[in-house]
Structure 1
Amino acid sequence: MSGSIAKSLAGSVIEEIMKVVVLGSGIVGVTSAYQLAKAGHEVTVIDRQPGPALETSFANAGQVSFGYCSPWAAPGIPLKALKWLFMEHAPLILRPKLDAAMLSWLLRMLSNCTSERYAINKSRMLRLANYSRIALAELRSETGLTYDEGMQGTVQLFRTQQQLDASTKDVKALAADGVPYEVLDRDGCVRVEPALAHVRDKIVGGLLTPKDETGDCFKFTNALTARAEEIGVRFLFNTTVKRLDVEGNQVRGVVIDHERVAADAVVVAFGSHSPVFLQRYGIKLPVYPVKGYSLTIPITDAARAPKSTVMDETYKIAITRLGDRIRVGGMAEISGYTNDLGQARRRTLEHSVTDLFPGGDVSKASFWSGLRPMTPDGTPVIGPTKIGGLYLNTGHGTLGWTMSTGSARVISDLVSDRKPEIDATELAVARYA
Structure 2
Amino acid sequence: MKVVVLGSGVVGVTSAWYLAAAGHEVVVIDRQSAPGMETSFANAGQVSFGYSSPWAGPGIPLKAVQWLMMRNRPLVVWPLMDTRLYGWVTRMLANCTEAAYARNKARMVRVSEYSRRAIAELRAETGIEYDGRTRGTLQLFRTQKQLDHIGGDTRVLAQFGMPFDVLDPAGCIDQEPALKHVRGMFVGGLRLPQDETGDAHLFTQRLAAMAAEKGVVFRQGETIRAIATAGGKVTGVTTSAGEVVGDHYVLALGSFTTALALTIGIRIPVYPVKGYSLTLPVRDEDGAPVSTVMDESFKVAITRLGDRIRVGGTAELAGFSTRLRAPRRATLVRSLTDLFPRGGDPAEATFWSGLRPMTPDGTPIVGGTKYTNLHLNTGHGTLGWTMACGSGRLLADLVSGRVPEIDSADLSVARYALAGID
In structure 2, the residue corresponding to 1:281 is in which secondary structure?
coil
Deviation at 1:264, TM superposition (A): 1.2
Deviation at 1:252, TM superposition (A): 2.2
CA distance in 1, matches of 2:185, 2:329: 22
CA distance in 2, matches of 1:163, 1:124: 26
The answer to whether the aligner puts 1:139 opposite 2:122 as a matched pair is: yes
Corresponding residue for residue 225 of structure 2? 242
Identity value in percent: 60
In structure 2, the residue corresponding to 1:326 is in which secondary structure?
strand
CA distance in 2, matches of 1:218, 1:78: 33
In structure 1, the residue corresponding to 2:114 is in which secondary structure?
helix
Given residue 307 of structure 1, which amino acid in structure 2 is its aligned partner?
A: V
> Higher mean Cα deviation, 248-257 or 365-374?
248-257
Structure 2 residue corresponding to 1:370, chosen from 354, 360, 366: 354
Alignment of 1:55-134 (within 5 A): 55-134=38-117
Which deviations, in whole Å up to 9, do the C-alpha atoms of 1:43-91 show, x marking residues without a partner? 0000000001110000000010011111111111111111111211000
> Higher mean Cα deviation, 71-80 or 102-111?
71-80
Count residues with an aligned counterpart: 416
The answer to whether the aligner puts 1:343 opposite 2:326 as a matched pair is: yes
Which deviations, in whole Å up to 9, do the C-alpha atoms of 1:215-239 show, x marking residues without a partner? 0111110000100001110000110
CA distance in 2, matches of 1:291, 1:259: 32
Which ranges in structure 1 are unaligned for 5 or more consecutive residues? Answer: 1-17
Deviation at 1:123, TM superposition (A): 1.2
In structure 2, the residue corresponding to 1:180 is in which secondary structure?
coil
CA distance in 2, matches of 1:207, 1:307: 16
Corresponding residue for residue 32 of structure 1? 15
CA distance in 1, matches of 2:406, 2:165: 26
In structure 1, the residue corresponding to 2:224 is in which secondary structure?
coil
Which deviations, in whole Å up to 9, do the C-alpha atoms of 1:142-195 show, x marking residues without a partner? 111111110100001111122112211111111111111111111111111111
TM-score, normalised to structure 1, is: 0.95
In structure 1, the residue corresponding to 2:129 is in which secondary structure?
coil
TM-score, normalised to structure 2, is: 0.97
User: Contact 2:365 / 2:411 at 8 angstroms: preserved in 1?
Assistant: yes
In structure 1, the residue corresponding to 2:180 is in which secondary structure?
helix
Which deviations, in whole Å up to 9, do the C-alpha atoms of 1:102-146 show, x marking residues without a partner? 000000000111111111111111111011000000001111111
> Higher mean Cα deviation, 319-328 or 180-189?
180-189
Deviation at 1:259, TM superposition (A): 2.4
> Higher mean Cα deviation, 263-272 or 238-247?
238-247
Alignment of 1:168-247 (within 5 A): 168-247=151-230
Given residue 290 of structure 1, which amino acid in structure 2 is its aligned partner?
A: V
CA distance in 2, matches of 1:29, 1:256: 17
CA distance in 2, matches of 1:244, 1:94: 32
Deviation at 1:372, TM superposition (A): 0.2
The answer to whether the aligner puts 1:385 opposite 2:369 as a matched pair is: yes
Corresponding residue for residue 288 of structure 1? 271
Given residue 30 of structure 2, which amino acid in structure 1 is its aligned partner?
A: D
User: Contact 1:123 / 1:173 at 8 angstroms: preserved in 2?
Assistant: no
CA distance in 1, matches of 2:308, 2:184: 26
Given residue 46 of structure 2, which amino acid in structure 1 is its aligned partner?
A: Q
Structure 2 residue corresponding to 1:50, chosen from 33, 42, 55: 33
User: Contact 1:65 / 1:212 at 8 angstroms: preserved in 2?
Assistant: yes
User: Contact 2:280 / 2:309 at 8 angstroms: preserved in 1?
Assistant: yes
The answer to whether the aligner puts 1:431 opposite 2:415 as a matched pair is: yes
Given residue 413 of structure 1, which amino acid in structure 2 is its aligned partner?
A: D
Corresponding residue for residue 399 of structure 2? 415
CA distance in 1, matches of 2:330, 2:69: 16
Deviation at 1:382, TM superposition (A): 0.3
CA distance in 2, matches of 1:162, 1:383: 41
CA distance in 2, matches of 1:346, 1:38: 41
User: Contact 1:190 / 1:196 at 8 angstroms: preserved in 2?
Assistant: yes
Corresponding residue for residue 13 of structure 1? none
Which ranges in structure 2 are unaligned for 5 or more consecutive residues? Answer: 418-422
Corresponding residue for residue 11 of structure 1? none
CA distance in 1, matches of 2:370, 2:153: 35
User: Contact 1:289 / 1:372 at 8 angstroms: preserved in 2?
Assistant: yes
User: Contact 2:272 / 2:356 at 8 angstroms: preserved in 1?
Assistant: yes
**Superposition CA RMSD, Å:** 0.8
Given residue 364 of structure 2, which amino acid in structure 1 is its aligned partner?
A: P
> Higher mean Cα deviation, 106-115 or 258-267?
258-267
CA distance in 2, matches of 1:58, 1:234: 21
The answer to whether the aligner puts 1:275 opposite 2:258 as a matched pair is: yes
Deviation at 1:245, TM superposition (A): 2.3
Corresponding residue for residue 301 of structure 1? 284
Corresponding residue for residue 352 of structure 1? 335
Given residue 384 of structure 1, which amino acid in structure 2 is its aligned partner?
A: G
CA distance in 1, matches of 2:382, 2:396: 22
Which deviations, in whole Å up to 9, do the C-alpha atoms of 1:8-56 show, x marking residues without a partner? xxxxxxxxxx110000000000000000000000000000000011100
